[in-house]
Amino acid sequence: MRGVILKGINELIFSESLTKPTLEKCNIQNQGNDLLLKVLSVGINRIDLLIKENKYPKFPMGKSLGLEISGIVEESNSNKFKKNDIVCSLLKYNGYNEYVLASSKHTMKIDPNKISMVEAASIPESFLTAYKLIYYTARFPLINNNDQIGGNTENIDTLNREEETNNTITKYTPVQENDYYYYKRFNNQIYGNYFGKNEVNVLVYGALSSVGINLLQLLNYEKKRNIISINKIIAITSNETKAKIAMEYGATDYAFHTDENFVETILNISKNVNLIFDCVGGGKIFENNLKICTNDTVWILYGLLGGPKVTNFNLAHLLTKRILLLTSTLYDRSDNYKEELIHSFQHHILPLIYNNTLKFCIHKALPIEQIEEAHTIIKNNLNIGKVVCKF
C-alpha cells in the first residue's frame, strides 16, 4: 500500500510498498480496532508537525502520522458498520497510510451526497476540537436539532426534553427560570454554564486555522441562538485578507496579533472580554491576555504555538481578577471520552453540517505524495482553514 513513513526527526518518506494492516477476527464485537478502512483523505494538523519534530512525547514510536481520515470500510468486526460504508474516523496514528485499523467507537458514518470525502476528513479532529472547546470546556448549553435561531423562540419547555438517538440521551434541566442548564449523560457533565445571563465577549486566537474557523462558526451560531448572550466575537489573525474571511465566518471584529498596541486595540473593541480561546500559550500573548482579562474571564488554553514557558509570571494576576484558566486537549483523552464526544457531535452538530448551517473551509487538497508541501503550509501559517491530503 501507499503511505508516509516517519523516519527520525523531521523526515517524512513516501512509499508505495508498505505492508497493508490485517484486521484480526475477534469474538467480542465493538472492541479495540475492529475496522479496516481504506483511506481516501487525511486531515493535516499542527500536532502532526509537533510529533514530526519530536515535541509530542506521548506519540508512540514506530507509528505513522495522521489522526483524522475519511474513507471506506474495507472489513468490519463491528455490528455498527459493514463493508463499503462511507465514514470518517478519529485515529491515534497511521492516518497517512492508504489502509488503517480504526475503532468503530471513534468512527462516524457520512452521507457522501451531502459532504465530500475531503470535507469529511476535517471533522474528527478539527471540527470535534472546536465543538469540545465550546460545549464541553466553556460549557455552552448543547444544541437541539430543531433549535430555532431567528427570534430566540426557545423556551424552558423546548429545551427541557429528552431525546434518544444513536444511544445518546440529550437532556436539559433548568435550575430556575434563567439560562442555567444541567446537561446529563455525557462525561463532560455540564452543571450550568459559566456566564448565566451576562454578556459574553469572546477572543479567538488562530481564528483562520481549521479549529479557529469552526470556533467562529459555532460562536456565530450561538450568538443567533441567543441562549448565551454573545456580543463581540473578536478574531485574532495576521493580515487584512484573513480578517475579511474571519468576518465572513462569524467574527464581529478583528485584531492583528502583530499590532504594537494590541491590548489597547482589544480594549477599544470591548473592555469586558470574558472568554478567550487561546492556541498560542506562552510569550507576549500570555502577558497581553492577563491585561485583557476582566474579572471572572474564562481563559481556555488549547495550544502552545507561542511556546510552553512564561517568564516572570505572577499568580496574583490570576487571583485578583478571579481568572479561570482552563486547559484542553483531545489526543490523549480516554477512549470512552472520545466515544461519548463523537456520539454527542453526531447528534448535535452533524445535522447542522448537512443542512449547510455550518460550512467547511478547505484551504487546499493535495495528493499524499505532496505531504511535505502540506506541512510547509501549516508550519508557515499560510492556511485559511483546513489542509487535506488525498489518496
| 283 vs 373, residue with greater confidence | 373
Check residue 180 and give its pLDDT: 35
Q: Each residue of 8-50: pLDDT tens digit?
A: 889 999 999 999 999 988 766 667 899 999 999 999 999 999 9
Question: Residue 69: pLDDT above 50?
Answer: yes
Secondary structure of residue 382 in the 3-state scheme = coil
Q: Do domains 3-125+332-390 and 196-327 have the same CATH topology?
A: no
Domain layout of the chain by residue ranges: 3-125+332-390, 196-327
Question: Thinking of the domain 196-327, which architecture would CATH place it in?
Answer: 3-Layer(aba) Sandwich (3.40)
**Taking residues 113-124, what's their average pLDDT?**
98
DSSP 177-195: SSS-EEE-SSTT-EES-S-
Averaged pLDDT score across all residues of the chain: 88
**Cα torsion at 98, 103, 105, 108 (round to 10°)?**
10
Q: Which three cell numbers stand for residue 230?
A: 454573545
The one-letter amino acid at 152:
N
Q: Each residue of 189-233: pLDDT tens digit?
A: 344 689 988 999 999 999 999 999 999 999 999 999 999 999 999
> Parallel, antiparallel, or unpaired for β 107-109 and 99-102?
unpaired
24 phi and psi angles, rounded to 5 deg: -80, 140
Q: Which three cell numbers stand for residue 203?
A: 477572543
User: How many angstroms separate the CA atoms of 318 and 294, rounded?
Assistant: 10
**Taking residues 100-129, what's their average pLDDT?**
98
Check residue 176 and give its pLDDT: 34
Question: Thinking of the domain 3-125+332-390, which architecture would CATH place it in?
Answer: Alpha-Beta Complex (3.90)
What percentage of the chain has pLDDT greater than the value 70?
86
Check residue 44 and give its pLDDT: 98
Question: How many helical (H) and strand (E) elements, i.e. helices and strands, does the chain have?
Answer: 12, 19
Q: Each residue of 328-370: pLDDT tens digit?
A: 999 999 999 999 999 999 999 999 999 999 999 999 999 999 9
